[in-house]
Chains A and B, each alone.
Chain A
Amino acid sequence: MNVHALTGLLILNLLFLASGLGLLWFLRGWDTWVELGRLAGLAYVVGVVTVGSLWTLLLIAGVPFSLAVVLGVPAAATVGSVLMARRRGRDRPRGDSIAARTSLIVTAVGISAVGVLIEGLFRTARLSGLYWWDAWSFWIPKAKAIYFFGNHDQEFFTTLPGSSYPPLVPVLDVAAFHVMGSPDVVTLHVQYWLFGVGFVWALAGILAERVPAWILWPFVLLLLVAPRIGRRFHITEADLLLDYFFVLAAVLVAYWILDRARWRLMIATLMLSGMVLTKREGLLLAAVLVVAALIASARQWRLVWPSLGVVAVVVGAVAVPWRIWYVGHGIGGEAPTGGGLDPTANTERLWPSFRLAFDVLFSSNYWSVIIPLALGALILAALARTYFLAVFFGALVILVTLGGGWITWAIPELEITQDLGGNPIVRYMGAAALLSCAASPLLLAAAWSAVTVRGKVDPA
């Protein structure tokens, strides 16, 4: 049974990888095998979010979620992408020698240290029980219901806690159950560990384009040892998966504004679409990401804003079917009563709510030293006059934090507390922390590059 379950997961995750590799081949092409290896993690996450979103939309449309759908969708996505890539004239990646620079040794040490840490995390993931409240109270029950009934059982789904949450996470769980041959909630933790591994690979791969190895790898290690990030890789909840999509989308949008490679915006759009199908907070995070991009690109608005508008429309369209489903079944909405936009409401909660969000952001108990380091990186980037990245990531972290304060303020039922049972603020703020960890090396690399280039141009 164990071998069967692990082999099933291996096949499923190879299908995710193949779908993403095919899609990236179609959208951007592969120049070399080395490049493909560097971006294979991104391809994996692209496969997860694309296939997961398609499964979710099919389920909402009423298509029975069977093993055939689980295997057929990624297989079709892979074949379709490859055919379109060939039609577009994409060449196969060519062989390329690895440049034997000093940074290669630094990269090797980084990969080795990160790899051993990830192997250590596997030991937890392989035999973990289902101990986390949201996991056993509704994420897994939803997945089991879809697995056993093959569809969204209306009565069950409308009575569970978190009934308005979109179903991408349960759908991914069900896919794992099908390939494992049973609803094996222990081995399921390996699937979430794989999501974490894919994210780390993806993030390191895209950051490596602009960040020297000696700046990059310490931050990847920091991410893995942060109490509420790396140590929670195996937990079968939606929070980290949402954060993965959000952070990768943010980095891709920043890169797109810098170099206008359209494939980056397309992949970011897929990530944002996955976010709105993962958790209701996904809508808020997607919105603040677009707003931060609008702010940071204000000087190039003619070139950037129309495309961002298209992204917002596409992501909004992907969000609609699930909202129709739950509204049609009498489930309460995701927004606070009254929309949470009346500034005269709950005024006594205003300051405590926003203070709570900032307290959580700066808590080293949750995020280790990520936030102070990010603040330092932001200041250095501003001093080095690399304004775009500083404004984009600074605005995004502030907007995410203000969003966290808004949630607490606008929903009076939430206690002003960091206790997970009374307020989701700690879960939500993981997005700001993970983003800060991803942005710091980019900001430092940009500052370093600006200073060293200026030093060469003007040694005085």
Chain B
Amino acid sequence: MTTRVWVAAAIVLIPLVGYPLVTLAGGSPRFPARQECERSAVEGQPVDIVYGRFDDPDSAVAARDRVLAVGFTGTEALPDGCGRWKVVLEGVPSLEIAREVQAEAATVDLMPTLELGSDG
């Protein structure tokens, strides 16, 4: 091969190999972990009362029905934005009220967690 052919090959290969290498040197694309959808409740912000997370909507709906059956109205089964489904009462106005609901739920063997509200 002549020098000119080698130069042409270098002109093609160096940028085509170099660009992805430089890009990947900054790290591969980052995806949110599932835990990042579970943000702790904050004083002064709306609170979500979460009764559980599930991998499929059928399990979430069944769990929601159990929660509704013991009187916690307004509870819904919704996608959590991280590939799972959550059973949740959204938009409780304060942490104090949310804790009261949490304590009441414990009396019927439900163990909800308190999370930062979806619009909080």
Contact = CB atoms under 8 A, between A and B. Distances in A.
Interface of A: 97-98, 100, 104-105, 107-109, 111-113, 115-116, 119-120, 123, 126-127
12 contacts: A98-B8, A100-B4, A104-B4, A104-B8, A105-B4, A105-B8, A108-B7, A112-B16, A115-B12, A115-B16, A119-B16, A123-B23
Contacts of B33: none
B108 interface: no
Contacts, number: 41
Contacts of A127: 29
A124 to B, nearest CB: 12
B5 A98 contact: yes
A190 to B, nearest CB: 13
A112 B5 contact: no
* Centre residue among B2, B8, B9, B20 by max chain A CB count within 10 A: B8
A40 to B, nearest CB: 15
A120 B16 CA distance: 10
Interface in B1-25: 1-2, 4-5, 7-9, 11-12, 14-16, 19-20, 23
10 cross-chain pairs, A with B, having the tightest CB-CB distances, nearest first: A108-B8, A108-B11, A100-B4, A100-B2, A115-B16, A112-B15, A104-B8, A108-B12, A112-B12, A116-B19
A116 B16 contact: yes
B20 A119 contact: yes
Interface string B90-113: 000000000000000000000000
Chain B residues touching A, majority SS: helix
Contacts of A119: 16, 19-20
Interface residues of B, number: 16
A8 B43 CA distance: 49
A168 to B, nearest CB: 31
Chain A residues touching B, majority SS: helix
Contact of B7 (A97, A105, A111, A123): A105
Interface in B21-62: 23, 29
A100 B1 CA distance: 9
Contacts of B23: 123
A435 B71 CA distance: 65
A111 B11 CA distance: 9
Contacts of B4: 100, 104-105
B5 A115 contact: no
A208 to B, nearest CB: 14
A182 to B, nearest CB: 14
A6 to B, nearest CB: 13
Contacts of A120: 19
A104 B16 contact: no
A439 B8 CA distance: 27
Given A107-B8, A108-B7, A111-B12, 14 more contacts: A98-B5, A100-B2, A100-B4, A105-B4, A108-B11, A112-B15, A112-B16, A115-B12, A115-B15, A119-B19, A119-B20, A120-B19, A126-B29, A127-B29
A105 B11 CA distance: 8
A228 to B, nearest CB: 25
Contacts of A104: 4-5, 8
Given A119-B19, A127-B29, A100 B12 contact: no
A224 to B, nearest CB: 15
A97 B1 CA distance: 8
Nearest to A102: B4
Nearest to B18: A116
Contacts of A97: 1
A120 B20 CA distance: 9
B11 A109 contact: yes
A115 B14 CA distance: 11
B1 to A, nearest CB: 8
Contacts of B2: 100
A107 B12 CA distance: 9
Nearest to A106: B8
A108 B15 CA distance: 11
B70 to A, nearest CB: 37
Contacts of A111: 12
B15 A116 contact: yes
B6 to A, nearest CB: 10
Interface string B68-93: 00000000000000000000000000
B83 to A, nearest CB: 12
A127 B7 CA distance: 35
B20 A112 contact: no
A100 B5 contact: yes
B71 to A, nearest CB: 39
* Centre residue among B1, B4, B23 by max chain A CB count within 10 A: B4
Contacts of B15: 112-113, 115-116
B79 to A, nearest CB: 14
A123 B20 CA distance: 10
* Centre residue among B1, B14, B16 by max chain A CB count within 10 A: B16
